[in-house]
Structure 1
Amino acid sequence: MIDFEIAPEQLAVRNAIRGWAKANLTAARSIYEGQNASSGEWRDRFRSTQPIYAEAVKAGLIKAQIPKELGGAGGPLIEAALVVEEFYAVETSASLTILGTGLGLTPLIMAGTPEQHKKFFRPFLDGTGTPMASLVFSEPGGSANFAEEGAPGFQTVARVQGDEYVISGEKIWATNCSGWDDRGADVQCVLVRVLDSAPAADVRGQTAIIIVTRDDIANNHPSAFQVLSHPQTMGHTAVNGPHIKFKDLRVPKSNLLAPPGKGADIVELTFTASACLVGAMGMRQTFDRALAWAKTERRGSKETMLQKQSLADLLIKIKTRCEATRALVWKAAHAFGRTRFGAELCYEAKIFGSESAVESLMDAINLVGVSAYSREHRFGDLLNDAVVLPIFDGGNVGVRRRQIEAIFAQEDYDPWETTFGAHSHEANGTK
């Protein structure tokens, strides 16, 4: 039996998140857009959303990003997809800050020991304050080929000195990594190469994940962790993805999360799950705004714009993409971890959903016409937010399509296993 209805408990999650987002995110853009956007004060937009983040903590939305079995309140990936859609249907930047903590915690969820879970989850479970986590991956020189054989690998490196790791290097675009005050997130999962842990050419064998906490930063000289800049972006203008520098930052050996040779596997699995969720960021707000406009505007006609076939056709395209993306996201979330090739669907959901989001915004702008160029309608703001979706969280060209290509190349690849089961080749008459 095929059933596309979400379970009652998941419907309850969706309804609760929908109510919270409407109450707490609706006014977010007016809050952070009121801040000075000049180069020196760019961080103020991000900091202005801290009260919203505090409300998310109180509502259990940070605790919900940790699985129940580890002391949190989180459920399966499909529930995370529901949360992402409801957030983005209302607001983008403040939403991404909340969701960025979930991404930052994912490697710890996947690879942490019971002792590490107990220690590092603590600030995220008590429902107070504004604790943040960050996955610190990208580097100024680019990171798409970080594990390519013979390539230089990450330029952020760690060396062993006694009972400590000493970390040096620069990172950029890591959501939340500087924390609210530029002295670091509560937990940073930092991708590094551990020097001398494997042959020099084996960069994958050297790749590890080391946890850096605010306490670690405080225990070092102030120069050991520096925020070099807060890059200004076209969209998501209240999101914090700074350029940071580690300089001989010392952390205990017990902070090693994924040892050399395992770090690449953990970060790739993390980005597989997140790919599905980027697909959920989608087009719902675009369709809702365009539909409302078409139902009320006449533009000098005796009819509303919805009654003009050429405009209705654009709305139909947007709605169809929205439905198709959601179906693919839900299927990917269901298949993640269940089938050998479930990762393929996550990557496809990211590609299709992110690229469809940009296409749909352009359709909405053409539907509304020159009035869409006005800030009043927000379509330009949404377009600026959407254009990052195909290029972040693993760019569709540089990373995601290459990942699918690698899956296709596997000798035992079964293209329809995620649909029909492990023996789908028998039904298709193939081997």
Structure 2
Amino acid sequence: MPIDFHLCPSEAAARAAAASFAEKILKPARAMYTMYPTQHERFKASRSIYEAAVAGGLIKGQIASSFGGNGGSLVEAAILVEECYVVEPSASLTIFATGLGLTPFNLCQKPETKAFLEPFLSGKGAPLASLVFREPGGVANWLEKGGIGLNTTARREGDEWIINGEKIWATNSAGWDFKGADLACVVCRDITDSPAQAPDADPKEKIMIIIVTREDLDRNGPDAFQVIRQVETMGHTTVSGPHIKYASVRVPAKNVLCGPGEGALIVNGSFDCSAVLVGAMSVGLMRAAFDAALAFAKGDNRRGVMPLLERQAVADLLSGIKMQTEACRALTWKAAHVLNAGPGDYGARRELALAAKIYCSDAAVKAVTDAINVVGITAYDSSQPFAELLNNAMVLPIFDGGNIGIRRRNLQQLMMAPEYDAWAATYGPSK
């Protein structure tokens, strides 16, 4: 069968549906939320957009079909993310962060957990999910032997688990009213038998994921969950990822999604999937920057005799942005396809997901900067889209696992492995 770069019917349909949603629902969003002075107010103001996403199937579309969802391939997800991000990144991130919060369910495939997903399958309301992982002080070395590991802990007591700890940057983790998300996959460390982390212990053996629902938090009382600080960010200014605290939150044993020793694999797998989607976010921002800069270069001459586009320096910058955008999209789609379908073992397939995250996010920052150089000082006017594009692009290399502290180290670990097979994700195993 020849290599085919055309979209299949389901992929083309996903693109058309996403583009329509972006044009009709997302495009007017910024004018609506920018009237609010603080990030948490802008987040709350974006609820109607999220409700439209729920009604339109964008949340159900992030749940595997085995649980009753409409989830398609990771390639389709990347296409959807790009189409939304090219129009309105900030409100889009809230939608796709719920998808990240649901990814552990898709990966674990435990039928007994389907009941937790019912609010997200209904197509009604505005249920939020969150993968609650990162902590104050960072988590880049969370699995290093002898290290501190995660500070968020869980202790078994009878038929319950008791969770204590602080988290930050977990999008959607506080819910619309900042009293807790509808569903949170809380990544924590089991201390039932050993409260202190032994110097020679493997932290992976203690990592688990516990489901905490809004009903669990409400049952525990008003002091069980607290927002310590609302975080104001440079870009994505409607997104909520506050500093939160769980204080002796009791949940039933049935809420354990991944028991001790199982959690790290699912956390890493979830972020492998999201790495591909950060590649798609990057492409969306690059595409928006190119379109805006191209339109400016066609319509402005800066008091010269010809449009800017006819100037070689301008054309060179624009052609560079366009080529990088195409290259990043190709890498993102390849990474999405390979992560699901191979070839190669999981390490080989994962390598392309990491590459998509690193390469595309770095390229997005450069592309927006180049677009600003095309436009010149006019780009510094906040009525132009470029400042917001740059603020949104700047986070891509440092969130979802920072490129330097985490993602490149993941690549290093893969290459250091004795069984490393450099080109297996393209050609299959060499032996």
- TM class, shorter-length: over 0.9
Q: Which of 114, 121, 126 matches 1:125?
A: 121
Compute the displacement of 1:312 (Å). Answer: 0.6
Q: Determine the structure 1 residue equivalent to 2:162.
A: 166
Q: Which of 381, 399, 413 matches 1:406?
A: 413
Q: Which of 41, 55, 69 matches 1:72?
A: 69
Q: Distance in 2 between matches of 1:418 and 1:391?
A: 26
Amino acid at match of 2:155: R
Q: Which of 82, 94, 98 matches 1:97?
A: 94
Q: Determine the structure 1 residue equivalent to 2:244.
A: 244
Q: Determine the structure 1 residue equivalent to 2:369.
A: 362
Q: Distance in 1 between matches of 2:221 and 2:124?
A: 28
Q: Which of 142, 149, 164 matches 2:145?
A: 149
Q: Which of 159, 173, 189 matches 1:193?
A: 189
- Secondary structure of residue in 2 paired with 1:349: helix
**Match runs of 1:325-344 below 5 Å:** 325-337=328-340, 338=342, 339-340=344-345, 341-344=348-351
- Secondary structure of residue in 2 paired with 1:281: helix
Compute the displacement of 1:196 (Å). Answer: 3.7
State percent identity of aligned pairs: 50
Q: Distance in 2 between matches of 1:206 and 1:417?
A: 32
Compute the displacement of 1:293 (Å). Answer: 1.0
Compute the displacement of 1:171 (Å). Answer: 0.2
Q: Does 1:297 align with 2:300?
A: yes
- Secondary structure of residue in 1 paired with 2:281: coil
- Secondary structure of residue in 1 paired with 2:220: coil
Gaps of 5+ in 1: 426-431
Q: Distance in 2 between matches of 1:102 and 1:422?
A: 32
Q: Determine the structure 2 residue equivalent to 1:175.
A: 171
Compute the displacement of 1:69 (Å). Answer: 2.3
Q: Distance in 2 between matches of 1:408 and 1:26?
A: 43
RCO higher in structure (CA 8 A, sep ≥6) = 2
Q: Distance in 2 between matches of 1:121 and 1:418?
A: 33
- Secondary structure of residue in 2 paired with 1:280: helix
Q: Does 1:287 align with 2:301?
A: no
Q: Which of 322, 340, 348 matches 2:325?
A: 322
Compute the displacement of 1:160 (Å). Answer: 1.0
Structure-1-length-normalised TM-score: 0.95
Q: Determine the structure 2 residue equivalent to 1:428.
A: none
Structure-2-length-normalised TM-score: 0.95
Provide Cα deviations, 1:188-238, integer angstroms capped at 9, x if missing partner. 000100104577333211110000000000101211101111111111110
Q: Distance in 2 between matches of 1:113 and 1:323?
A: 38
Q: Is the Cα contact below 8 Å between 1:149 and 1:202 reproduced in 2? A: yes
Q: Is the Cα contact below 8 Å between 2:156 and 2:192 reproduced in 1? A: no
Q: Distance in 2 between matches of 1:345 and 1:112?
A: 24
Compute the displacement of 1:367 (Å). Answer: 0.8
RMSD between aligned alpha carbons?
Answer: 1.1
Amino acid at match of 2:218: A
Provide Cα deviations, 1:372-404, integer angstroms capped at 9, x if missing partner. 000111201110111000000000000000001
Q: Distance in 1 between matches of 2:428 and 2:254?
A: 42
Amino acid at match of 2:90: S
Q: Distance in 1 between matches of 2:48 and 2:193?
A: 43
Q: Distance in 2 between matches of 1:260 and 1:147?
A: 14
Gaps of 5+ in 2: none
Compute the displacement of 1:239 (Å). Answer: 0.3
Q: Distance in 2 between matches of 1:261 and 1:187?
A: 22
Provide Cα deviations, 1:333-386, integer angstroms capped at 9, x if missing partner. 011042310100000000011000000111011110000000111201110111
Q: Distance in 2 between matches of 1:32 and 1:146?
A: 36
Q: Distance in 2 between matches of 1:196 and 1:24?
A: 48
- Secondary structure of residue in 1 paired with 2:16: helix
Q: Determine the structure 2 residue equivalent to 1:45.
A: 42
Q: Does 1:309 align with 2:312?
A: yes
Q: Does 1:375 align with 2:382?
A: yes
Q: Distance in 2 between matches of 1:158 and 1:263?
A: 13
Q: Is the Cα contact below 8 Å between 2:154 and 2:192 reproduced in 1? A: no
Q: Determine the structure 2 residue equivalent to 1:396.
A: 403
Structure 2 CA distance for partners of 1:197 and 1:401, relative to 1, 3 Å: farther
Compute the displacement of 1:184 (Å). Answer: 1.1
